[in-house]
Amino acid sequence: MKRAESEFLQGDYAKALRSYGLILRDYPTLDEAKIGVYLSDLGIESQEEAQALFDYYQMIKNEKENAVDIIDGLIENLDSSKHKLQELLVEPLEEQIEYGDGIRYSDFLELVKSRGSFKKTFEDIMFSTKVVITNKEEFIDFVTQLANEGFDEMALGYLDASSSLFGNDQDILALYHVVRGQK
83 vs 14: CA distance, rounded Å: 23
State the average pLDDT for the chain.
80
Q: Look at the chain and report how many structural domains it folds into.
A: 1
User: What residues make up the domain containing 124?
Assistant: 2-132
Helix (H, G, I), strand (E, B) or coil at 112: helix
**Where residue 22 falls among pLDDT bands split at 50, 70, 90?**
very high
Is residue 137 in some structural domain?
no
Note whether 36 and 4 are within 8 A (CB): yes
> Per-residue pLDDT for 100 more than 70?
no
Helix (H, G, I), strand (E, B) or coil at 103: strand
For the stretch 45-64, pLDDT in tens is: 888 888 888 888 888 877 77
Is residue 14 in some structural domain?
yes
Is residue 139 in some structural domain?
no
Burial zone of 43 (CB within 10 Å; 0-12 exposed, 13-18 middle, 19+ buried): buried
> Per-residue pLDDT for 167 more than 60?
yes
Q: What is the pTM of this model?
A: 0.46
Residue from 80, 79, 57 nearest 69 by CA: 57
Is residue 169 in some structural domain?
no
Is residue 79 in some structural domain?
yes
CA distances from 140 to 121, 137, 153, 175 (A): 18, 5, 15, 7
Flag the least confident range among 11-20, 36-45, 172-181. 172-181
Between CA 117 and CA 116, with CA 107 as vertex, the angle to 5 degrees is: 15
Is residue 74 in some structural domain?
yes
Is residue 158 in some structural domain?
no
Is residue 54 in some structural domain?
yes
Helix, strand, coil shares, percent, the chain, to 5 = 75, 5, 20
